[in-house]
Amino acid sequence: MLRGRFADKRASGSSSPRLAGPATVKIIVGPDSQEYFIARKSLIGSPYFRHCFENARVEFEKGEAYLVVIMEEQCPEMFELFAYWMNERRNFDKFIDVAELDNTCTELHWDLVSLHIFAAQVELPALQDAAMDAIQDVYLRCNWDINPKLTSYIYESCDPQDSCRLRKWIVAMTAWTLGGVVGTEMSSNIQRLFDLYPDFLAEYHIHTRKMAQSRLECHFKNPQLRLPSNNLRNEERQFGFRQCSFHTHRSIIGQGSCPHNGFLSPYSFALHTDLYAESDSEHTESRFGSRMVSPSSDTIPESDFETS
């Protein structure tokens, strides 16, 4: 696991005329008060952080002014990923490479899951999607089946809106893992999860019914594979999913290309955030004060399951 390698990287850039005050935010994370420096303009797309800035104090250090935000409850390992993406706008391949070498893919996996949920809570859809891509890549590189502990965590402890995309991917991974096979230890574990979480079972049935309607075989269609086009040919549809199948923006791109291909400037990212909020408001409603609710309060609509 990368610890501290990027934590001290400070964002650079002059103040924009659109942003009065310090250009850089110092975010203090965790019980050990680890510090992360992020360009303020990178965070303005998040209503959560805009709200934080309203009451943030200003500190001066070596002639530099910083807005200070304290997030003691957040995990520093997760926040290292957050700060890296906010400053660099790059995927997490280098973290996955290091985790493979260090044999810490399991730890990175949980940090990415936390990052995905955190990005949903602070309303940064592009980061949520980048974390989802990285989770898929970790599973593909490690050749993992779906993790029962992940399923339990998402369906028992996470807000169903914050975890909506992960829930859809878990369901698809479960269908691919089972592939119609019964009687194995894995199928017995999944059956116990079905018994514990009725929403999980209901969403699984929706997914498999739509797969059958599309004449697709669950055991061939691998949710770890992001095919490099959203407009798939029939033979491609048999083996993988659209690159944006588990993203937040599928409803606005149709068969078009992923808007995250290429660099998004902080301001264009803010515009994309507003567009997502208009197009998918049921998944991006502000929930600053609501973190954990019962998954049974809100299941995934059947129309939100896509198999192509």
Q: Which residues 6+ apart lie within 8 Å of 188 measured at CB?
A: none
Q: Determine how β-strand 64-71 pairs with β-strand 24-29.
A: parallel
CA distance to 29, 53, 61, 203, per residue, from 58 (Å): 17, 10, 10, 47
What's the CA gap between 267 and 276, in Å, rounded? 14
Amino acid symbol at 65: A
> In CATH, which superfamily holds the domain spanning 1-83?
Potassium Channel Kv1.1; Chain A (3.30.710.10)
In the predicted model, is pLDDT for residue 186 greater than 90?
Answer: no
Per-residue confidence (pLDDT) for residue 244, from 0 to 100: 84
- pLDDT score recorded for residue 291: 34
Q: Could you tell me if 251 and 237 are in contact, meaning their C-beta atoms sit under 8 angstroms apart?
A: no
Q: Where do the structural domains in the chain lie, given as residue ranges? A: 1-83, 89-304
Q: What pLDDT does residue 93 have?
A: 95
Query: 3-state class of 263 per DSSP?
Result: coil
CA angle centred on 156, ends 279 and 34, rounded to 5°: 80
Phi, psi values for residue 139, rounded to 5°: -60, -40
- DSSP letter assigned to residue 144: P
For residue 63, what are its two tokens?
Answer: 């002639």
Tokens of 74: 């957040």
For 146-156, what is each residue's pLDDT tens digit?
889 999 999 99
pLDDT category at 270 given cuts 50, 70, 90 is: very low
* Rounded CA Rg of the chain: 20
Query: Taking the mean position of all CA atoms in its chain, how far away is CA 170?
Result: 13
pLDDT grade for 292, boundaries at 50, 70 and 90: very low
| Region label for 89, one of left (φ > 0), alpha (ψ between -120 and 50) or beta (otherwise) | left
Highest mean pLDDT among 145-149, 158-162, 186-190: 158-162
Average pLDDT (210-224) is 81
Question: Where residue 278 falls among pLDDT bands split at 50, 70, 90?
Answer: very low
The pLDDT value recorded for residue 203 is 94
Region of 156 on the Ramachandran plot (φ > 0 left; ψ -120 to 50 alpha; else beta)? alpha
Question: Which of 202, 261, 266, 206 is closest to 25 using CA atoms?
Answer: 266
Q: Which of 52-56, 185-189, 199-203, 295-299 has the lowest mean pLDDT?
A: 295-299
Element at 167 (helix H, strand E): helix 164-178
Look at residue 230 in the predicted model and tell me its pLDDT.
63
The segment with the largest mean pLDDT, out of 15-29, 103-117, 259-273, 278-292, is 103-117
242, two tokens:
């659209």
Most confident of 188-192, 194-198, 256-260, 262-266: 194-198
The contacts of residue 175 (CB under 8 Å, 6+ apart) are 204, 207, 208, 211, 218, 221
Structure tokens at 229: 């086009």
Percent of the chain's residues with pLDDT above 90: 48
Query: Cα(first)–Cα(last) distance of the chain, in Å?
Result: 34
pLDDT at 178: 85
Q: Which amino acid is at 11?
A: A
Q: Tell me how far CA of residue 89 lies from CA of 127, 146, 208, 301, in angstroms.
A: 9, 28, 35, 31
What's the chain's average pLDDT?
77
> pLDDT of 220-259, one tens digit each?
778 888 877 666 666 666 777 888 888 988 666 666 777 7
- Write down the pTM of the prediction: 0.77
